[in-house]
Chains A and B, each alone.
Chain A
């Protein structure tokens, strides 16, 4: 592991091992230091995602935590991304804290909590507008998509948000 990220990730991992994670969030794997997978479920009876579990993958670059990690919901045989107006069917997430609102003070667990509350506040299972078009031409790394956030800065995820209409 390289310069910036090593010690910080080791510290986060040690904290998770000693203090545990919030309810509904489980660290599934951190086999390699730079790619972790968390399982996320939404608590309570109110939620439209009752009984569902999602896998959130984070890839940490060597500039973490200065740079935001690459965060996607896994879309494979075992796990499917949640039906949500900010989550594309390939697992890409449009959330400003994963873009211009990222702060190095945040960490892996904080990202999980944000995702959990993003799901908890959703009332309608649907894909974002233009999902099919986006998924067809999307780069594999969602950080390469130039997202537009029609912001509600307070939660970093609410209100509409979308990839640009054309990519060069």
Chain B
């Protein structure tokens, strides 16, 4: 056991160099720094999350553009160092997940901002991408947790950002009407002004983080689609994208018109472009199409038509890409028709998920309570708390028992529906 201060001193020293004098480090020194950081970031060595966060911050500063170092002083070595290419990505994912647990609500966003900066910078490197993809295979559960947290953060930041923008815009509009503004009682004006100041001070952080998060998801989905279309993530992703899209291009769009968007780092065009790219990245995945079709809260054909027009007229995307958005919309509409047809059949009670009342696709039996539930549902539940919700007994996902008998019944029932559907289609042809 080493005392913390000893470790802390070394960390502070490296942090100082990375931050203020990277030129003092030659390649061999940088390799030492990288070895130190990657080794001690891995589990089992350091418990204190704040110490680990300092390690991450060294790398994050090392990737900050500085003078001659366009991509940051550590970029080159991080791209080739063997410990880095093999372990950096999985280690960061693990630390990202860990920041959700034992640290403070606000601290974790600072930690994660550093982690994301590293992700973003390293993502262009195929070796790092490979390690990232490999970590998905090695430990799919960890990976799902990571994606799930990334989604939560994104939703949270975008919501805070867009409500902040709306608040700023509304107060600015009031102030622009100088007469009416002057006529307001003084305390009301002061109250509005303090609300404006509060929104102005917090909105830029969330705006930047929201955009960064969306871009990270955009970059990951370009090469790695699978974790985003698993049942515990896909509905959430679709709902969140649709919801933000509805705010950005829907009837509320005008509420976001602040007079000086740059001041708050608000870049609605960039945000729209990144969101559009995520739709395109996942546009051929049937699970994603179904999830968007199922989202009756924000999705509408009109919204996507407006979206496509905006992408075209503001020259946010090329015509070919806009055409892809249009064809995606058509796929969603087709899927909606299919879903409606499915809905019209009465589903037997024993096929229904006990929590969501939806048709189970892959039923499993919970080992202690013996409740039968859909695999995707229990997985989602266990992401927030690892207990059986029906009796509060600790439960691990791996311990759920597949209910093969019931699954066979459901599959048979579905197949029966499909033949019926085929028959219906034939009837239509004959008309």
Contacts and interface: CB of A to CB of B under 8 A. Distances in A.
A1 interface: yes
Contact of B358 (A7, A66, A104): A7
B381 A3 contact: no
Interface string B286-318: 000001001111110000000000000000000
A122 interface: no
Given A2-B296, A62-B297, A66-B384, A103 B106 contact: no
Given A146-B105, A168-B106, A8 B355 contact: yes
A10 B143 CA distance: 33
B357 A3 contact: no
A69 interface: no
A141 to B, nearest CB: 10
B142 interface: no
A146 B108 CA distance: 15
Given A4-B235, A8-B355, A66 B297 contact: no
A122 to B, nearest CB: 26
Given A2-B235, A3-B239, A4-B235, A10 B295 contact: no
B176 interface: no
**Which of B239, B380, B390 has the most A CB atoms < 10 Å from its CB?**
B239
B355 A105 contact: yes
Contact of A66 (B242, B296, B381): B381
A164 to B, nearest CB: 10
**Which of A4, A8, A146 has the most B CB atoms < 10 Å from its CB?**
A4
B356 A65 contact: yes
A25 B238 CA distance: 36
Contact of B294 (A2, A63, A65, A105): A2
Contact of A8 (B236, B357, B390): B357
Nearest to B380: A66
B94 to A, nearest CB: 24
A86 to B, nearest CB: 22
A103 B380 CA distance: 12
A7 B297 contact: no
A34 interface: yes
A67 B309 CA distance: 35
A2 B239 CA distance: 7
A6 B296 contact: yes
A11 interface: yes
B239 A65 contact: no
Contacts of B298: 2
Contacts of B392: 103
A8 B381 CA distance: 15
Contacts of A11: 357
B390 A2 contact: no
Interface in B266-295: 291, 294-295
**Which of B106, B291, B358, B392 has the most A CB atoms < 10 Å from its CB?**
B358
B356 A62 contact: no
A66 B357 CA distance: 13
Interface string B122-141: 00000000000000000000
B355 A3 contact: no
A1 B300 CA distance: 11
A66 B358 CA distance: 14
A108 B381 CA distance: 18
A24 B242 CA distance: 39
Interface string A34-72: 100000000000000000000000000011011000000
Interface string B382-417: 001000011010000000000000000000000000
Contact of A3 (B291, B384, B389, B390): B291
Interface of B: 105-106, 235-236, 238-239, 242, 291, 294-299, 355-358, 380-381, 384, 389-390, 392
11 contacts: A1-B297, A2-B242, A3-B238, A6-B294, A7-B356, A8-B357, A34-B297, A63-B236, A65-B355, A66-B384, A105-B390
Closest 8 interchain pairs by CB?
A3-B235, A11-B357, A2-B297, A2-B295, A7-B357, A1-B296, A62-B239, A105-B389
